[in-house]
Amino acid sequence: MGTLDGIITLVTGAAQGIGKATAVRLATDGARVAVNARVDDERLAVAVAAAGPGAVAAPCDIVDWDASRAMVGRVQDELGPIEVLVANAARMTMKPFLEQEPEEWWQQIDVNLTGHLGVVSAVLPGMRKLGHGRIVIVSSYWGVIGWENATGYGCTKSGLIALTRALGRELAPEGIYVSSVAPGVIDTPQLEVDARDAGLPLKDMHAIYAKGIPAGRIGRADEVAATISFLAGKTAPAYVGQTLHPNGGEIRCSM
């Protein structure tokens, strides 16, 4: 018996990286997982297969709120009411502030922040009917400390922490517990964006980041996934509106 045995979960942005690792971890812990990605392609199929026989594909561009509602409806018809939402989908571009085009700014806002408002809006009525639920929002430590050349991304991730706090206070009395994680540097395909911005090979980017981490290495996606599974479980009421920081000790703060 897993710690999430039989619980219906939806993970956004789960075709790779932290999202994929989370889908696999939740399934390992007993959940039935709907795996979301923007495009219904081979990567999504591979992620669904990795999450096991009980997983289903839930393709949808979460920027489109109507599409999100339709996607949630399909998941509920196929698996049942969604009890856990992991809001993970993200977009990042890295450029100096004055070189970032307005379209790039808004693309990050639309996916990382506003898009997840739509997904939360879509799952919340079902959670209210059940009388319980879990929402785990994936922020970033760049949303806590900021980062050069990542203004738009950092702003959206900071906004997600504020969203966690506000929804945590609003929804906890209904038995719906909201929390977030703010991972540090994690070994995912997203680091390729960092490497390109720095003009370095990916392995050199890894080494540079590792130097600033007390644990001596960058993190792994499965470590973040374990934290998310923890927040999705029975301990959730103890972490209402709070943000956990799996970052190897690089920053230690209460935000």
> Distance (Å, rounded) from C-alpha 18 to C-alpha 254?
22
Q: How many CB atoms lie within 10 A of CB 1?
A: 7
Hey, what amino acid is at 62? Answer: I
Question: What letter does residue 176 receive in the DSSP assignment?
Answer: E
Catalytic residue chosen out of the listed positions 153, 177, 209, 239:
153
- For the chain, the straight-line distance linking the first and the last C-alpha, in angstroms and rounded, comes to 34
Using the structure block, give the residue that is written with the tokens 């209210």.
128
Closest CA to 28 of 39, 20, 16: 20
Question: Phi/psi of residue 235, each to 5°?
Answer: -80, -5
239 catalytically annotated: no
The catalytic site residues sit at: 153
